A and B are shown apart, each in its own frame.
Chain A
Amino acid sequence: MDSRTGDGPRAAGARPATVAAPPASPATSPRPVSPRAPARSMYLLHHLLEPNAGYRRLAAWLEARPRLRRLFTAAEKGVKQEIFGCRMCGQCTLPSTGYACPMTCPKQLRNGPCGGVGADGCCEVYPEMRCVWVEAVERAESQGRPGDLLRLQLPIDHRLWGQSSWIRYWQGRDEDLWTDPTRSGMEP
């Protein structure tokens, strides 16, 4: 069995750059990404992007124009890749994960961390990186949003990779991404 590169001292709270080390298998395993923007500003920004009649019309208009849609999608990808390491799954769940992207988890877990997180919060597959779910829990809790993490995130539609999730979101097509917050005695 392979081993983690050891339990040597790791700078507490360090936010390693996403480009630090070469990936073990770039084609098949995503690398965890620590978001490059504070959680607070992301929640604020979210208010600006909330669906309204204007956005809905814009999304429908873009969708009907393939070249503009491609341009818009490329711009969305550029921004989200830079901040979150977005891989364009097309079904963005960032608002419910403290704006840390679960699709950058090597196991692409959308419902919480695996059991292999290191004692210092490192990823089991890339021990030099922090677990995205450790980030997600910290960020959501820091903004008073831990309840978001209890939502049951449903299986994703793999046909949507590469598509704009903003266009989908503004048109209300993201509503089946999760079930109602999983209640029954689980609130803190």
Chain B
Amino acid sequence: MTSEMPDARAGLPARAAGQGAPWATSSRPGTFRAALESGAFTVTAEIGPPRGADAGAIARKVAPLRDWVAAVNITDNQGASVRLANWAGSLAALAAGVEPIMQLTCRDRNRIALQSDLLGASALGIPNILVMTGDHPRFGDHADAKPVFDLDSVQLLWTARTMRDEGKLLSGRKLNPPPSWFLGAVENPSAPPADFRAARLGKKVTAGAQFVQTQYVFDAAAFAGWMAQVRDLGLHERCHILAGVGPIASLRALAHLEQGVPGVQVPAQVARRLRGVPPDRVADEGIAICAETISELAQVPGLAGVHVMAVGAEHRIPAILRQAGLAPMLATGRAGHAG
């Protein structure tokens, strides 16, 4: 991976923070940002840390993706269920040679802990942060937990940007040295209020988002409609937009997505296709649908790439991308959309 790194990352600012971290690895920070800025169709993948004290689980999931993705998202107790920490998982991904995007939610930490974790991430060489509100504890394995939500995602983006660009905390105290990361946000184009979703992304971009990854897209045509609003606001020029995609691996997963995941809608034609094949063919059909969606999305003007969420089936991501007509990314930028 290192050997293919271009020297032409000249556009990236020198990183004062995080240099000399003892676990600095084969992965050099900035791969993801450089890929986006090169204009290549960029792929990222979601990695859920294990429920257990095993950093090796991250390495095993990440290794097959090394040539295929520019970065991996390390989730932050996704679904409000306890997992290995986001920062620890991010370090494990770095050690496995893939650049992490550390997810950070507002659910479990107040503004003191959030700012502290942000500093820690920068100091340890975690180059990308993805800020989100977070699922409510009610959906997780500790429904009896106290939800924090001291800041919301827009406020946290603004806080992080202020820490980085103005070198100060919310309290006004100076940071020495200031942190540096590439800042991202999430958006759900298909959730109501529909006519406010693009404007809400604009709010996040103004607050500091440099890239955005969306919730699952199953309907590329509906997504293209949202992207038209995004382009009307000029947001695709101020922020790199990656559409979230993922294969539905089983009828059980389909039922779960249809009913159990807030903000996700599976279109009727997708459900029909999955229910219309023999049970042993559902997983393959799910992959075929996902690959078709990626091919359609690659044609949407202003879209920077896709974020593949294949939780529990990360090893199948290369096959999905191949089927979608994408060549390996080799961490330095894709030659182009081959399909």
Given contacts A4-B262, A7-B259, A134-B193, contact A111 B199 (CB under 8 A): no
Would A150 and B147 count as touching, CB distance under 8 A? no
Bound: A104/B74 CA distance, A: 31
Contact of B86 with A by CB under 8 A:
no
B111, B151, B192, B263 — most chain A CB neighbours (10 Å): B192
Contacts of A138 in B (CB 8 A): 193
List of B residues within 8 angstroms of A186 by Cβ = 199, 202-203, 206, 233
B170's partner among A106, A118, A155 (CB-CB below 8 A) is A155
The CA of A182 and the CA of B238, in the complex, are separated in Å by 14
Per-residue A-contact encoding for B142-180, CB less than 8 Å = 1, 0 else: 011011011111110011000000000010000000000
Across the two chains, which residue of chain A brings its CB closest to B79? A1
Return the chain A residue nearest B144 by Cβ: A25
Who on chain A is nearest to B158 by CB? A152
Q: How far is the CA of A115 from the CA of B265 in the complex (A)?
A: 12
**In the complex, what distance in Å separates the CA atom of A54 from the CA atom of B131?**
44
Q: Which residues of A contact B259 (CB under 8 A)?
A: 3-4, 6-7
A125–B136 contact, CB under 8 A?
Answer: yes
B207 at the interface (CB under 8 A from A): yes
Q: Would you give the 0/1 interface string for A144-188, flagging 1 where the beta carbon is closer than 8 Å to chain B?
A: 001001101111001000000000000000000000001111101
Residues of A within 8 A of B195 (CB): 137, 141
Establish whether residues B135 and A154, one from each chain, have CB atoms under 8 Å apart when the complex forms: no
Question: With A7-B259, A185-B234 as given contacts, are A117 and B192 in contact (CB-CB < 8 Å)?
Answer: yes
Binds A, one of B30-38, B57-65, B183-191: B183-191
**Contact between A153 and B192, CB atoms less than 8 A apart:** no
Task: Say whether B56 faces chain A, with CB atoms less than 8 Å apart.
Answer: no
Shortest Cβ distance from residue B271 to the other chain A in the assembled complex, whole angstroms:
12
Chain A CB within 8 A of B319 CB: no
Distance of B178 from chain A, by nearest CB (Å): 19
Residue B196 at the A interface, CB < 8 A?
yes
B146 near A111: Cβ-Cβ < 8 Å: no
CB distance from A62 to the nearest CB of B (A): 30
B210 at the interface (CB under 8 A from A): no
Q: Quote the shortest CB–CB distance from B56 to chain A (angstroms).
A: 26
Rounded to whole angstroms, the CA-CA distance of A99 and B91 in the bound complex is 45
B273 CB–A CB distance under 8 Å: no
A2 touches B147 (CB 8 A): no
Q: How far is the CA of A133 from the CA of B151 in the complex (A)?
A: 17
- A106 with B147: CB separation less than 8 A: yes
Contact present for A110 and B155 (CB under 8 Å): yes
| Interface flag for B332 (CB, 8 Å) | no
Q: Which residues of B contact A113 (CB under 8 A)?
A: 191-193, 196, 200
A138 to B206, CA, bound (A): 23
Which residues from 33 to 74 on chain A have a C-beta closer than 8 Å to any C-beta of chain B?
A: none
Residues of A within 8 A of B196 (CB): 112-113, 133, 137, 146, 149
Which of A6, A111, A131 has the most chain B CB within a 10 Å cutoff? A111
Known: A111-B152, A121-B193, A137-B195. A29 touches B147 (CB 8 A): yes
Is B154 touching A137 in the complex (CB atoms < 8 A)? no
Q: B215–A115 contact, CB under 8 A? A: yes
Tell me the complex Cα distance, A155–B203, Å. 15
A124–B106 Cα gap in the complex (Å)? 16
Is B133 part of the contact surface with A, judged by Cβ < 8 Å? Answer: yes
Q: Taking the complex as formed, is A119 at the interface, i.e. its CB lies under 8 A from any CB of chain B?
A: yes
* B206–A182 touching, CB < 8 Å: yes
Report whether B81 and A115 are in contact in the complex, using a CB–CB cutoff of 8 Å: no
B155 nearest CB neighbor, chain A only: A155
Indicate which residue in A1, A108, A115 contacts B186 across the interface (CB closer than 8 Å): A115
Mask for B233-275, Cβ within 8 A of A = 1, else 0?
1110010000000000000000010111111010000000000
Over the window 1-15 of chain A, the binary record of Cβ atoms lying under 8 Å from chain B Cβ atoms (1 yes, 0 no) is 111101100000000
**Inter-subunit contact B263/A124 (CB<8 Å):** yes
* B138–A25 CB distance below 8 A: yes
Q: How far is the CB of A121 from chain B (nearest CB, A)?
A: 5
Q: Counting CB contacts under 8 A, is B140 at the interface? A: yes
A184 to chain B, nearest CB (A): 6
CB-CB under 8 A from A7, the residues of chain B are 258-259
When the two chains form their complex, are residues B265 and A107 in contact, meaning their CB atoms are under 8 A apart? Answer: no
State whether A2 touches B133 (Cβ < 8 A).
no
Query: Given A2-B139, A114-B133, 6 more contacts at CB 8 Å?
Result: A108-B152, A117-B191, A118-B263, A146-B199, A185-B202, A186-B199
Report 15 cross-chain contacts, Cβ distance below 8 Å, ordered by A residue: A25-B144, A28-B146, A29-B136, A29-B138, A107-B107, A109-B133, A110-B152, A111-B203, A116-B188, A121-B193, A124-B139, A133-B196, A152-B206, A182-B206, A186-B206
